[in-house]
């Protein structure tokens, strides 16, 4: 029986290894992690991450050909193929701080592989890494191995959170990069044959190692760029009376552009986009390509502008002061159908509102109270290393923020509502009931354009929808 070991039981490692186990019953898959709490959660009925369909896949395979363990050395040593899906956050200190990828976790995984391996192995980069990381990893492995040979492949993951299982079961494509040597190509074929158990062959794309590593960074940069582009248009729409959803629709009908990633929003979040663009910027700068670096930096600057613009809109609409006013925040996750809050725009928006002394009442269907308070207490660099930090929550944060269990409690007596995540349940709330329970004038700031602004206006709300013509009240 072929044995696979997945290092890193996070948002990528957990679901990816579970789907391989599901689709390849003849392969034994063990997912290992240094975090005892994560592994015990994977072995329980309360998985450490919320992802539609994940629980069912894990329940089907766990204990049969899918296992979770903290014994990293043993399972690495036993495996024929090792997927490394450890976190690669932005470096918080030292050379390249704030931009370069922190490869500490990757390097420590590589050292364990080198120290414990007694047989030849295929090592697969699942984590998103800077271009030419495979070369560095190869050096660590070959200089520390005892005559064992390793083939390194790049196999970046393209799943999106919230649809991870669907994306893994029906990927647009699987990308595999390998060395152009006979041994390298043999390893590529071995990995290809695993995916071929459920992915059509024409969707499995093979390249050289560096193209594969760079394609992952480029992929995220292109997606984020589309969102920043439509968000730039949203500001122009508000200034001119154009409607961003109509502009998006018109663009989407151009087959050269297509329809996805054109929803204007309060800004993109998630653990990948900002980190991977910064990574790209750093690589460009390191290669002396200043113009290239500046081009991609602008995608992040536009995202920051969009979050900042939203906060300013809230403050300016509410008579230039939100001091002491209760503001309901609906949604904290970085998108719907996930409990993940990494780099969620809600963090920056809430912090912006708190700087103006608002009193926040936050409701999210899946994010825990503890997580929200920690996110609001951490600075942006600490947020990149959440697994290892337990920040102290200051009394002022506690005083300004209440986490509540439903949207009606959040909005009661509030002056305004900010919708920051597009959870479906927010579309069907009883807004008449909410209006009666709020202070007047009652404001809605829809950061995701999911609410029916016309109906809300009929009820009596003053409504701001990103990129839509402004209510007379909100015009300068």
Residue ranges of E strands in 100-200: 121-125, 150-154, 174-178
Report whether the peptide linkage leading into residue 441 is cis, meaning its omega lies within 30 degrees of zero.
yes
What would the two tokens of residue 215 be?
């394609």
Name the residue nearer to ligand NAD (CB basis): 105 or 464.
105
* Owner of token pair 């997945």: 6
Name the residue nearer to ligand UDX (CB basis): 70 or 229.
229
Residue of 5, 24, 61, 272 marked catalytic:
272
DSSP symbols for 441-452: S-EEEETTS-S-
Name the residue nearer to ligand NAD (CB basis): 274 or 359.
274
**Contact indicator for 466, 236 with CB cutoff of 8 Å:** no
User: Which residue in the set 128, 265, 341, 421 belongs to the binding site for ligand NAD (CB under 6 A)?
Assistant: 128
Q: Does 131 bind ligand NAD (CB under 6 A)?
A: no
Q: Does 13 bind ligand NAD (CB under 6 A)?
A: yes
Alpha helices in 79-148 (DSSP H): 104-116, 133-144
Is 13 annotated as a binding-site member? yes
C-alpha angle 56/59/61, rounded to 5°?
110
What would the two tokens of residue 264 be?
């204007």
Q: How far apart are CA 16 and CA 195, in angstroms?
A: 11
Direct distance between the N- and C-terminal alpha carbons of the chain, in angstroms, rounded to an integer: 69
**Taking the complex as a whole, how short is the minimal distance between the CB of residue 325 and ligand NAD, in angstroms?**
35
Residue ranges of E strands in 350-431: 359-363, 401-403, 416-419
User: Which residue in the set 161, 375, 384, 446 belongs to the binding site for ligand NAD (CB under 6 A)?
Assistant: 161
Q: How far apart are CA 426 and CA 335, in angstroms?
A: 13
Q: Does 337 bind ligand NAD (CB under 6 A)?
A: no
Q: How far apart are CA 447 and CA 465, in angstroms?
A: 7
Chain-centroid distance of CA 65 in Å reads 28
**Taking the complex as a whole, how short is the minimal distance between the CB of residue 282 and ligand NAD, in angstroms?**
15
The item of ligand NAD, ligand UDX, none sharing an interface with residue 335, based on CB under 5 to 8 Å by kind, is: ligand UDX
Is 10 annotated as a binding-site member? yes
Q: How far apart are CA 326 and CA 414, in angstroms?
A: 5
Name the residue nearer to ligand NAD (CB basis): 124 or 376.
124
**Taking the complex as a whole, how short is the minimal distance between the CB of residue 220 and ligand UDX, in angstroms?**
6
Q: How far apart are CA 303 and CA 143, in angstroms?
A: 43
DSSP symbols for 1-54: -EEEEEE--STTHHHHHHHHHHH-TTEEEEEE-S-HHHHHHHTSSS-SS--TTH
Query: What residues numbered 268-287 form the site for ligand NAD, per CB under 6 A?
Result: 271-272
**Taking the complex as a whole, how short is the minimal distance between the CB of residue 279 and ligand NAD, in angstroms?**
9
**Contact indicator for 87, 10 with CB cutoff of 8 Å:** yes
Q: Which stretch binds ligand NAD (CB under 6 A): 10-18, 184-192, 315-323, 402-410?
A: 10-18
Is 161 annotated as a binding-site member? yes
The item of ligand UDX, ligand NAD, none sharing an interface with residue 262, based on CB under 5 to 8 Å by kind, is: ligand UDX
Chain residues that interact with ligand UDX, rule: CB under 6 A: 157-161, 220, 223, 227, 261-263, 265, 268-270, 272-273, 334-335
Q: Does 8 bind ligand NAD (CB under 6 A)?
A: yes
Q: Which residue is nearest to ligand NAD (CB)?
A: 10
User: Which residue in the set 24, 29, 47, 109 belongs to the binding site for ligand NAD (CB under 6 A)?
Assistant: 109
Q: Which residue is nearest to ligand UDX (CB)?
A: 270
User: Which residue in the set 79, 159, 277, 349 belongs to the binding site for ligand NAD (CB under 6 A)?
Assistant: 159
Q: Which stretch binds ligand NAD (CB under 6 A): 91-99, 142-150, 154-162, 184-192?
A: 154-162
**Taking the complex as a whole, how short is the minimal distance between the CB of residue 459 and ligand UDX, in angstroms?**
26
**Taking the complex as a whole, how short is the minimal distance between the CB of residue 58 and ligand NAD, in angstroms?**
15
Name the residue nearer to ligand UDX (CB basis): 158 or 198.
158
Q: How far apart are CA 440 and CA 265, in angstroms?
A: 26
Q: How far apart are CA 417 and CA 68, in angstroms?
A: 42
Q: Does 346 bind ligand NAD (CB under 6 A)?
A: no
Q: How far apart are CA 267 and CA 334, in angstroms?
A: 9
Site string for ligand NAD, 26-55 (x = CB under 6 A): ------xxxx--x-----------------
* 272 is a catalytic site residue: yes
Name the residue nearer to ligand UDX (CB basis): 151 or 263.
263
C-alpha angle 94/95/98, rounded to 5°?
80
What would the two tokens of residue 178 be?
């390998």
CB atoms within 10 A of CB 37: 11
**Taking the complex as a whole, how short is the minimal distance between the CB of residue 261 and ligand NAD, in angstroms?**
15
Q: How far apart are CA 81 and CA 135, in angstroms?
A: 18
What residues are designated binding site?
A: 8-13, 33, 38, 86-90, 127-128, 161, 272-275, 342
Chain residues that interact with ligand NAD, rule: CB under 6 A: 7-13, 32-35, 38, 72, 85-88, 105, 108-109, 127-128, 157, 159, 161, 271-272, 387
What residues are designated binding site for NAD(+)?
A: 8-13, 33, 38, 86-90, 127-128, 161, 272-275, 342
Give the residue numbers annotated as catalytic, written as ranges. 272
């Amino acid at each position: 029986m072929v044995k696979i070991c997945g290092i890193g039981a996070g948002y990528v490692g957990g679901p990816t290894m579970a789907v391989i186990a599901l689709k390849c019953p003849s392969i034994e898959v063990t997912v290992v992690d240094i975090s005892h709490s994560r592994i015990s959660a994977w072995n329980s009925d309360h998985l450490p991450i919320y992802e539609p369909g994940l629980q069912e896949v894990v329940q089907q395979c766990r204990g049969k050909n899918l296992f979770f363990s903290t014994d990293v050395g043993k399972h690495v040593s036993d495996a024929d193929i090792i997927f490394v899906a450890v976190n690669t956050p932005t470096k918080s200190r030292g050379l390249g701080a704030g931009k370069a990828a922190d490869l500490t976790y990757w390097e420590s995984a590589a050292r364990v592989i080198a120290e414990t391996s007694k047989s030849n192995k295929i090592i697969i980069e699942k984590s998103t890494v800077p271009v030419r990381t495979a070369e560095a990893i190869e050096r660590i492995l070959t200089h520390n191995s005892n005559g064992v040979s390793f083939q390194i492949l790049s196999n970046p993951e393209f799943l999106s959170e919230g649809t991870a299982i669907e994306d893994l079961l029906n990927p647009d494509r699987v990308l595999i990069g390998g060395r152009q040597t006979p041994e390298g190509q043999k390893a590529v074929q071995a990995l290809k044959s695993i995916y071929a158990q459920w992915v059509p062959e024409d969707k499995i794309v093979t390249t050289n190692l560096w193209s594969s590593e760079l394609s992952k960074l480029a992929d995220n940069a292109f997606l984020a760029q589309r969102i920043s582009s439509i968000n730039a248009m949203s500001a122009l729409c508000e200034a001119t009376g154009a409607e961003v959803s109509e502009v998006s629709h018109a663009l989407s009908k151009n087959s050269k552009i297509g329809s996805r990633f054109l929803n204007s929003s309060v800004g993109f979040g998630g653990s990948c986009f900002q980190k991977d663009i910064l990574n790209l910027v750093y690589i460009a700068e390191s290669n002396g390509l200043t113009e290239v670096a500046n081009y991609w930096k602008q995608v992040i600057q536009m995202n920051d502008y969009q979050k900042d613009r939203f906060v300013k809109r809230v403050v300016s609409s509410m008579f230039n002061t939100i001091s002491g006013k209760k503001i309901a925040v609906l949604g904290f996750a970085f998108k719907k159908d996930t409990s993940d809050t990494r780099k969620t725009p809600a963090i920056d928006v809430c912090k912006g509102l708190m700087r103006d002394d608002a009193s926040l009442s936050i409701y999210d269907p899946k994010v825990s109270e503890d997580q929200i308070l920690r996110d609001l207490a951490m600075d942006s660099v600490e947020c990149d290393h959440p697994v290892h930090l337990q920040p102290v929550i200051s009394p002022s944060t506690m005083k300004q923020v209440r986490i509540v269990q439903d949207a009606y409690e959040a909005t009661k007596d509030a002056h305004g509502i900010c919708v920051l995540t597009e959870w479906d349940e927010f579309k069907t709330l009883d807004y008449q009931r909410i209006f009666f329970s709020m202070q007047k004038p009652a404001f809605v700031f829809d950061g995701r354009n999911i609410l029916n602004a016309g109906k809300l206006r009929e009820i009596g709300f003053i409504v701001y929808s990103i990129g839509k013509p402004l209510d007379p009240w909100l015009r300068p």
